[in-house]
Each structure stands twice: as structure tokens, then as C-alpha cells.
A = this chain, B = another copy of it.
């Protein structure tokens, strides 16, 4: 499809804010309440909350009524095909395990994507009251943070290599094959500081310039689409571990500086022989 005009992008970005505004009271209404948690998969623990389902329904309904030609790809309700090449890729609660354990490090992820990847990305954290969002379209690359109605640009920090890098990942349980564990170990042996936990919030920390690398495995498309414009609009880069585009999810690496990104790819590839 043809590139969106700036006014189209501004319109859809404003709409993304409306979607986040619509989801927030639903997610917050269930946060830190004693909710029913259903196991989505019988094998393993994959909690889905009423908040997840309710927020996605609200977002999906608003998209359908406002932009009926647009597709929707969500965690809870699957895909609705796009008639014009534009699809909203959403995860109403990224970090459901944070959510159910009372940690505020979860977020509502909203992306507008075409077949080449995300154009607009937003991470809303309504409990803390923070919103991160970015745009990637042609030469327009920008990323912002809003809290208390103050909007500030996001900028990743310089990081020339692994020796000065702070790295985060949600949990070592993601690295559930010998090759994945080897790749993480290769990085851990060279970096300066390792952090755990955080889900989508870690990517916001990269965009703000306080983390250098996030390495994760087994992500879904809706786990990463919204985060790509936020990080790349702030000067960073998001790819698969082999350097290819990350828009299908899978094994993802996000970096604030392309030099640290290259060094990390090299270390991980070396670990695999």
C-alpha cells in the first residue's frame, strides 16, 4: 500500500490514544482485585484475565465502528481481516503475570501496521499514568512519553558494545532450549548489568535511554508490534536474533544503539557455533 500521509498518521495516532483511553478503565477496574484466572493452555500456566478480554472487546468494537475497513489482530479474539492493508495489532494486557501478581509493570499495547510492519506503536501504563508512543513511516521517526499531560521526546542512549550494556529479560524460563540458553549465557558473560522482569515495560526503558538491550524468546506478533515504533522512533533497533525483521514475533532483541545490537547478535551467533 502507499505510505500514509502525515495527516492520516496524526489521525490514527489520535485514535490510538482513544483506544488506550477506552481500555484503561477496564484494565484498572480489574487490577489488584481478586479475579478469576483461567488457564488458557492446559499444559503450562498462561493466565487470561477478565480485564484482558474486556479491554480487547472494547478496543475491537471501537475500531470496527470507526474504521470498519481496518483489520484487528488481538491476543484474545484472533484476527479480523483488513480490507485496506491496515491492521491494528493489540495486546490489551502485555504482562498478564505482572498484572495478576499486583506488579504495575504491565501495559496495553496498540499498534497500527501494514504488511511491512508497524507504523504507529503505543504502550499505555494506566496505573502509573504513563504513555509511550512512536511513529515509523518513511522519514518520519519519532517517539514520545506522556505523563501528567507533559509530552517529552524519547531518545535511546549511546552504548558502543556489550561491556557497557545493561540487559533485561522478563524471565529465564523463556530460554527453554539449549540453544536459547546458550545465546543468553553468551550475553550474560559480557554485559555490565543484568535485570529480570518487566515484560513490555523493559522496552520503554530502552526507549527512554536507561536500558541498552532487551532479549526475549517466543514472543507473539502482538507482543512486539507496538514496541517497534517506540524504540526505533527513539533511535534504537528491534530485530530477530538473526537480524531479520521482528514483526512475526519469535526470538526478539531490542537495542538502543545499533553498535550494541550488532555486538549482541555476534555474541549470540557465536554461541551457536
Contacts and interface: CB of A to CB of B under 8 A. Distances in A.
Interface of A: 32, 34, 45, 97-98, 100-105, 127-128, 157, 166, 168, 170-173, 192-198, 201, 204-205, 208-211
* Copies of the chain in the assembly: 2
7 contacts: A32-B210, A34-B157, A101-B193, A101-B195, A101-B205, A105-B197, A127-B128
B101 A104 contact: no
Nearest to A169: B196
A201 B105 CA distance: 11
Contacts of A211: 101-102
Contact of A193 (B97, B166, B168, B210): B97
A269 to B, nearest CB: 24
A204 B103 CA distance: 9
Contacts of A157: 34
Nearest to A193: B45
